[in-house]
Amino acid sequence: MTSVRAAVGGYGERVAVRLLAARGMVVLDRNWRDGRRGELDIVARDGDTLVFCEVKTRRGTAFGTPAAAVTPAKMRRLRQLAAAWLAAHPGTGGADLRFDVVAVCPQRSGPALTEHLRGVG
């Protein structure tokens, strides 16, 4: 990943964490990696629900909205990562599970535009 892409992605994840926390969610893990499958951006708890959250950040919409980048193949990979995370964190299961997407569009000035899509997969 180039340094500009990494910086934009990191910014989007920080914005997403603040958004989720402001909505009362508790972040349990960030950037959790499973070497074979990839990375979970955010794992959080929303009451009794365990939430696996994908963050997509784009500086523009010429190639579609950030949320549009979460394809069915990406959702399958997220489900596999969630299963691996649960296996690596015994005792955290038993709650309802949900997959969310936080879309972030940085602005030239002012706060980023955000969209929180709950239960997308």
* 40-66 pLDDT, tens digit each: 999 999 999 999 999 998 876 666 676
What's the token pair of residue 8? 């934009």
Q: What is the pLDDT of residues 67-114, one digit of tens each?
A: 777 888 888 999 999 999 999 998 887 679 999 999 998 888 888 889
CATH number (domain holding residue 49): 3.40.1350.10
- The total number of structural domains in the chain stands at 1
d(CA 87, CA 72): 23
- Would you state the pLDDT for residue 7? 82
- Containing domain of residue 29, as a range? 3-117
- Would you state the pLDDT for residue 62? 65
pTM of the prediction?
0.89
